[in-house]
Amino acid sequence: MTEIVLGVGASHSTLMNTHWEETLHKERAERFRDALKEARDELAAARPDTVILVGSNHFRGFWLDLVPAFTLGVGECVASGESGTPKGPQPVDVPLARHIAGALVESGRFDPAYSARLQIDHGQSHAIQYLLDGLDVEIVPLVVNVFAPPLPTLERCEELGRAIREAVLTFPGDRRVAVIGSGGLSHRLPWPDWRDPHGDDEEFMVGAWLNGRDNWQDYDARRREIIRAAEAALNPGFDDEFLSLVEKGETHRVTRFTTEELEKTAGNGAQEVRTWLLMAALLDHVPGRRLAYEPMPEWLTGMAVAVLDPAPPS
């Protein structure tokens, strides 16, 4: 019998790797890092065989020449390795991944893109680095478009999570499956709407997203400069409200936001809460536990970790 044994939502930031010593709010950073370790230990205790890893793409695995709303990795998976995150091939649970893809199509509800040679970036490899450290598991990577509008609606993401849950539970094997949603919470990246860039920096960014498939590393130095020069725009009030929904098992209520409303309220980076929403739907919206929330302006992001455990309390 296949069962879903744990869910984890966690923010990511490559600045943990590249600028730890320059971090001003060290106590906050350490509390967040410790919460990642606690979540990792809970994952280890749940003994998953496979982790469905839901994350975003920062134009190092997808580019503007082709941007699906949802992409399942069903074969090879390679991490790009930027900013000190894991690099190279990652183990994929191919039978489960292909079962999910097929079941979604057969249901008539979703036609996800799929890739037999998927490249992921820190939107997922950050979670591999910190949450799967030392764990002998395979992954099913699911990449959600959260940065190249038009974006899939929050409601559509929640529906996909429920559909994947149904697919997983009908898998004719014997799997213990965990789910990770990697991204968010509130933050604003100095990234343009690719359809209407203004100024040299925004034109450069769109050019990198369009032309970087074969040489994305060539753009990274200036990309990093633009990001490091940005001012933080956090909304701890939104973050607390969102985490309260997670704790109450009501993450689905975030679907009341339109894409535009979410960006206005919590920044363009908050579109990554789609990954948490998908994760929570896969866990049937069981109430979660907040392990940490730390506003980190030097990382431009409201950093949070939460765990959703479907096991009844002992």
Tell me: the pLDDT tens digits for 281-307? 999 999 999 999 999 999 999 999 999
Residue 21 has pLDDT above 80, yes or no: yes
Pairing verdict, β 301-308 and 288-296:
antiparallel
pLDDT averaged over every residue in the chain: 96
CB 96 within 8 A of CB 48: no
Average pLDDT, stretch 119-140? 97
How does pLDDT run across 164-183, given as a tens digit for each residue? 999 999 999 899 999 999 99
Residues making up the chain, counted from first to last: 314
How does pLDDT run across 241-272, given as a tens digit for each residue? 999 999 999 999 999 999 999 999 999 999 99
CA dist 221 and 229 (Å) reads 13
Residue 314 has pLDDT above 70, yes or no: no
CA dist 205 and 191 (Å) reads 7
How does pLDDT run across 145-159, given as a tens digit for each residue? 999 999 999 999 999
Pairing verdict, β 288-296 and 138-144:
unpaired
CA dist 175 and 258 (Å) reads 36
Residues 6+ apart with CB under 8 A from 312: none
Percent of the chain whose predicted confidence (pLDDT) is above 70: 100
Average pLDDT, stretch 24-28? 96
Residue 48 has pLDDT above 90, yes or no: yes
The confidence band for 312, taking pLDDT boundaries of 50, 70 and 90, is confident
Average pLDDT, stretch 77-85? 95
Burial of 211 per CB tally in 10 Å (0-12, 13-18, 19+): middle
Which of 193-201's residues contact partners 24+ apart within 8 Å by CB, and which partners?
193/149, 194/64, 194/148, 194/149, 195/149, 201/226
Residue with the two structure tokens 């990382």: 299
The confidence band for 64, taking pLDDT boundaries of 50, 70 and 90, is very high
Least confident stretch, 90-104, 137-151, 214-228, 287-301: 214-228
Return the pLDDT at 173: 84
CATH number of 3-189+230-308: 3.40.830.10
